[in-house]
């Protein structure tokens, strides 16, 4: 299965450190291995005139001293300046601070940028090693003062390069930490150097995922696989040479009602663009059916409770629907007739069907709901946008018994056994109808024989993201053509 990079909370990172040390690694050794990886990355990036290393009092500051030590070993002593918020407090940090002290004395953070010799320019590098994994609450004291100065520097037109070590100072597990190039605010780093497993708070932060390069650097051993993984993009796939209309993907859809028939056309259009073979669509009113048919005369349409006549691998319910009690009863009756071999995708207001006690229990394990973050919270789900509440969101998803793709700038897939973070913000998807198209793509992928809901949901995101990169700010009715273009381009690579 694709996606094998564990995502850990701050507490899990600390526990992993403890277990690694218990297995025979010292904190000094681990800090040295991380510093070696980071220094090598810095040296491979470009040549900097000056390197300013901002160190905190804990082990993140120790990383800064250790990186300085590695860079000194490459003959860069004259280019390095170290500024400390406080003297180092941990044994490993003191070890590297003492090594560096034979060549460079750490200056107080209050001196940073106060004299001409400590004013960074566009040819320089700043390393943020003030606070790493383990920071809690809002910034305060010397760390807050340092970040205020750093923010002012980063807001200038010819700003220096900024690299955050481990994770940027100010990254919270409890709430939104917005990183920006505008002062005042948390300074947006150009790069973030992570070590070993991923940091869940970092992966969930949309501003960092959109504006920074995240590098996971090797530290000499492989981390354990955890229950939360980061999805790794995989190659896009088209129909196979021997496919026919059923093996390419067959689907039932319930979508579109008065005034929202366009949602039905969007999801069915995306279904075929993604490679689906045959689709039969139902709505709740003859007027809506005729409007949909006028938009696409080739669709097989009907009005519920008319039965479906074709065999299918997936049932999609929800795009463009406002579900009242009467419609809910009709849909639940339909779900009672779904064969055990069929998957179910519930979008928008239809997601709430899984809360109804009449929802067939046997279907839950093969059901995917695709709410956006607001719809998820209206279902009663804790926000998965923050590392501190992520586990609660996973637990709530498990209580539903189904798979949940919660759509946001950073989307998450909450599973029964494992969950995935999809850290790829895409502003072109901030347009009405993008969710309808995603539902259609997932239906196309899941309707193929042998497909898994977990894979179809995440691969569907891959395809939609690739499609909208083909054009600046496309409207949702343009998505099907862009999906085909993305698939054609992938085949030619």
Task: Give the Cα separation of 167 and 153 in Å (integer).
Answer: 19
What burial letters (b/e) apply to 76-113, b meaning 16+ CB within 10 Å?
beebbbbbbbbebebebbbbbbeebeeebebeebeebb
- Topology given in CATH for the domain delimited by 5-230: Rossmann fold (3.40.50)
- The β-bridge partners of 193 are 165, 215
Is the pLDDT at 270 greater than 60, yes or no?
A: yes
pLDDT-derived band of residue 410, with 50, 70 and 90 as boundaries?
Answer: very high
272: CB partners within 8 A, 6+ apart:
279, 444, 480
Q: According to the model, what pLDDT value does residue 1 have?
A: 36
Does a cis peptide bond (omega within 30 degrees of 0) precede residue 305? yes
Q: What is the mean pLDDT of the chain?
A: 91
DSSP string, 12-61: HHHHHHHHHHHTT--HHHHHHHHHHHHHHHHHHH---S-EEEEE-SSHHH
pLDDT-derived band of residue 269, with 50, 70 and 90 as boundaries?
Answer: very high
- The β-bridge partners of 369 are 346, 404
Is the pLDDT at 426 greater than 50, yes or no?
A: yes
CA dihedral for 458, 460, 466, 468, sign (positive or negative)? negative
Is the pLDDT at 493 greater than 70, yes or no?
A: no
* Chain centre to alpha carbon of residue 268: 26
Cα–Cα distances (Å) from 254 to 73, 296, 356, in that order, read 66, 16, 18
Q: What is the pLDDT of residues 325-384, one digit of tens each?
A: 999 999 999 999 998 889 999 999 999 999 999 999 999 999 999 999 999 999 999 999
Q: What is the pLDDT of residues 159-216, one digit of tens each?
A: 899 999 999 999 999 888 999 998 888 999 999 999 878 889 999 999 999 999 999 8
Q: According to the model, what pLDDT value does residue 206 have?
A: 94
* Rounded percentage of the chain residues whose pLDDT exceeds 90: 69
Q: According to the model, what pLDDT value does residue 268 have?
A: 96
Cβ burial of 153 (10 Å; 0-12, 13-18, 19+) is buried
Cα–Cα distances (Å) from 474 to 340, 420, 427, 432, in that order, read 38, 27, 11, 11
Q: According to the model, what pLDDT value does residue 223 have?
A: 59
User: For the whole prediction, is pTM greater than 0.85?
Assistant: yes
Is the pLDDT at 492 greater than 70, yes or no?
A: no
Q: What is the pLDDT of residues 306-318, one digit of tens each?
A: 999 888 999 999 9
Domain ranges of the chain: 5-230, 250-492
In this structure, the strands spanning 51-55 and 125-129 are parallel
- Topology given in CATH for the domain delimited by 250-492: 3.40.1190
CA dihedral for 25, 29, 31, 33, sign (positive or negative)? negative
381 touches 394 (CB < 8 A): no
Q: Mean per-residue pLDDT for 423-429? A: 91
DSSP 116: G
* 27-45 and 59-73 helices, crossing angle to 10°: 60
What's the token pair of residue 316? Answer: 């999609």
Q: What is the pLDDT of residues 449-469, one digit of tens each?
A: 889 999 999 999 999 999 999
Determine which helix (DSSP H) or strand (DSSP E) holds 216, and give its type and residue range. strand 213-217
């Amino acid at each position: 299965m694709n996606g094998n990079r564990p995502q850990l909370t701050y507490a899990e990172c600390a526990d992993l450190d403890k277990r690694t040390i218990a297995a025979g690694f010292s904190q000094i050794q681990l800090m040295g291995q991380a510093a070696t990886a980071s220094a090598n990355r810095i040296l491979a990036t470009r040549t900097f005139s000056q390197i300013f290393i901002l160190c905190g009092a804990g082990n993140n500051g120790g990383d800064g001293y250790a990186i300085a030590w590695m860079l000194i070993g490459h003959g860069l002593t004259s280019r390095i300046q170290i500024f400390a918020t406080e003297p180092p407090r941990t044994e490993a940090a003191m070890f590297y601070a003492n090594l560096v002290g034979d060549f460079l004395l750490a200056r107080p953070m209050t001196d940073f940028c106060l004299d001409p010799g400590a004013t960074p320019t566009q040819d320089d590098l700043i390393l943020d090693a003030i606070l790493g994994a383990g920071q809690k609450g809002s910034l305060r004291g010397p760390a807050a003062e340092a970040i205020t100065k750093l923010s002012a520097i980063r807001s200038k037109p010819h700003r220096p390069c900024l690299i955050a070590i481990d994770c940027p100072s100010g990254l919270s597990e409890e709430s939104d930490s917005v990183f920006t190039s505008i002062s005042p605010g948390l300074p947006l780093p150009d790069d973030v150097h992570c070590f070993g497993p991923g940091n869940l708070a970092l992966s969930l932060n949309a501003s960092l995922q959109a504006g920074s390069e995240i590098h996971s650097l090797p530290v000499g051993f492989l981390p354990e696989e955890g229950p939360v993984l980061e999805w790794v993009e995989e190659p896009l796939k088209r129909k196979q040479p021997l496919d026919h209309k059923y093996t390419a993907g067959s689907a039932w859809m319930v979508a579109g009602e008065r005034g929202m028939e366009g949602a039905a056309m969007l999801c069915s259009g995306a279904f075929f663009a993604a490679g689906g073979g045959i689709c039969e669509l139902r709505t709740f009113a003859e007027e809506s059916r005729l409007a949909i048919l006028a938009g696409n005369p080739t669709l097989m349409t009907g009005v519920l409770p008319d039965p479906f006549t074709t065999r299918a691998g997936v049932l999609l319910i929800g795009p463009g629907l406002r579900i009242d009690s009467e419609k809910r009863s009709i849909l639940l009756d339909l779900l009672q007739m779904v064969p055990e071999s069929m998957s179910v995708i519930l979008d928008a207001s239809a997601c709430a069907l899984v809360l109804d006690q009449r929802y067939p229990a046997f279907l839950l394990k093969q059901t995917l709901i695709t709410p956006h973050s607001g719809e998820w919270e209206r279902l009663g789900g804790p926000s998965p946008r923050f590392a501190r509440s992520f586990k609660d969101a996973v637990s709530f998803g498990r209580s539903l018994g189904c798979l949940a793709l919660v759509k946001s700038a950073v989307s998450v897939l909450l599973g029964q056994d494992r969950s995935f973070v999809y850290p790829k913000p895409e502003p072109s998807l901030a347009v009405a109808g993008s969710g309808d198209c995603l539902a259609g793509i997932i239906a196309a992928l899941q309707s193929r024989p042998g497909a898994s809901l977990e894979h179809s949901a995440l691969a569907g995101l891959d395809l939609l993201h690739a499609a909208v990169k083909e054009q600046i700010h496309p409207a949702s009715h343009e998505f099907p053509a862009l999906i085909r273009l993305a698939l054609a381009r992938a085949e030619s690579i």
